[in-house]
């Protein structure tokens, strides 16, 4: 079965393809000829995930899924949340986002946070959504060079390493995206 994953983020595509495995064949937006930066104008992760999946389905007529992910920090009232990728501005610079996050947490002792991923699947025109959450802590200084986004400052509960210090296989066992993708896989297997 072929499914388009509505992303041009190579890290995300690699991570999700590894989680899904055969017999699913994943195509990225580029592979279906979509070179548009699909607007994320929703005010929730669920809404943005749906917007991206609907755009692909309506404009390219292919079964697809999209995700939206956010880091929700308790001391910041859930920020950066839905604007995680654009926290420090529209230029979507991960280092600037991390610097702003750490600066905003400088005087907080509660550093609990959670990553939340929402996947929207549109299959034969029918919409399905799947959610994955992983709780953890924001550390004071970046560690690790693997991963992307906020991975270098997030330590999941029960671990001593950041997502950026984990191999892809290790991260795939605990990440928010892995948990949402697992629900997607179970759904597809039971069709």
Query: Rounded to an integer, what distance in angstroms lies between the CA atom of residue 184 and that of residue 52?
Result: 17
Q: How far apart are CA 119 and CA 93, in angstroms?
A: 23
Under 8 Å between Cβ of 142 and 164: yes
The helix (run of H) or strand (run of E) holding residue 176 is helix 176-189
List residues bridging with 43 in a β-sheet: none
Query: Which of 67, 68, 96, 99 is an active site residue?
Result: 68
Q: Name the DSSP letter for residue 179.
A: H
Is 68 an active-site residue?
A: yes
C-alpha–C-alpha distance, residues 135 and 113, integer Å: 6
Q: How far apart are CA 58 and CA 115, in angstroms?
A: 29
CA–CA dist 18, 16 (Å, integer): 5
Catalytic residues: 68
């Amino acid at each position: 079965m072929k499914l388009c994953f509505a992303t041009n983020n190579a890290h995300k595509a690699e991570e999700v393809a590894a989680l899904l495995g055969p017999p699913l064949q994943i195509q990225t937006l580029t592979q279906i000829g979509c070179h548009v930066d699909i607007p994320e104008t929703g005010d929730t992760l669920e809404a943005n995930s749906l917007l991206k999946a609907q755009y692909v389905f309506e404009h390219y007529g292919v079964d697809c899924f999209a995700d939206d992910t956010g880091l929700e920090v308790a001391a910041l009232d859930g920020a950066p949340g839905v604007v995680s990728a654009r926290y420090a501005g529209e230029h979507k610079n991960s280092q600037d986002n991390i610097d702003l996050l750490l600066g905003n947490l400088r005087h907080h002792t509660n550093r609990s946070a959670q990553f939340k991923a929402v996947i929207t699947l549109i299959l034969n025109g029918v919409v399905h959504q799947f959610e994955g959450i992983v709780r953890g802590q924001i550390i004071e200084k970046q560690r690790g060079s693997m991963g992307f986004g906020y991975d270098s400052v997030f330590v999941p509960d029960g671990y001593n390493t950041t997502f950026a210090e984990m191999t892809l296989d290790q991260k795939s066992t605990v990440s928010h995206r892995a948990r949402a993708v697992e629900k997607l896989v179970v759904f597809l297997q039971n069709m």
